[in-house]
């Protein structure tokens, strides 16, 4: 319940993450840890690990954030070029965070990128202060 309005609190929106890695296999541990932590925090997150070579515009159309594993970080420019057509933020997970399976840091990165995407979308809407 929202105490200021007396209305039921809005459910957080699902954050859909495309998680690019070399083969889509080694990232399952990170996916499971991050999704579990997110659920415990009440933040719905769905991560889809896919091989970076399978990333395309169809995948981009169904995502909010794109993360790259550090082993494919050299593909960041090409992935960013594709994802930018959909207004999607793209970043690589740090070597340390990936290697330690630092779910809190990775979840914070996902939330930050999603917030930045939503703010950018709001600024570009007709009638917004900067878009008016």
Spell out the long-range contacts of 70-79 with Cβ–Cβ below 8 A and sequence spacing 24 or more. Answer: 70/94, 70/95, 70/98, 71/21, 71/22, 72/20, 72/21, 72/22, 75/20, 79/20, 79/52, 79/55
121 touches 76 (CB < 8 A): no
110 touches 66 (CB < 8 A): no
Catalytic residues: 21
DSSP letter, residue 52? G
């Amino acid at each position: 319940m929202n105490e200021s309005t007396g209305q039921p609190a809005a459910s957080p929106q699902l954050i859909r993450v495309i998680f690019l890695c070399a083969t889509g296999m080694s990232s399952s541990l990170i996916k499971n840890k991050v999704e579990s932590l997110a659920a415990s925090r009440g933040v719905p997150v769905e991560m889809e690990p896919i091989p970076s070579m399978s990333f395309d515009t169809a995948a981009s159309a169904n995502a909010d954030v794109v993360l790259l594993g550090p082993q494919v970080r050299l593909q960041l420019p090409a992935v960013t070029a594709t994802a930018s057509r959909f207004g999607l933020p793209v970043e690589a997970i740090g070597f340390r965070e990936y290697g330690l399976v630092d779910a809190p840091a990775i979840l914070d990165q996902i939330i930050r990128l999603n917030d930045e995407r939503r703010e950018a979308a709001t600024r570009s809407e007709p009638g917004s202060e900067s878009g008016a």
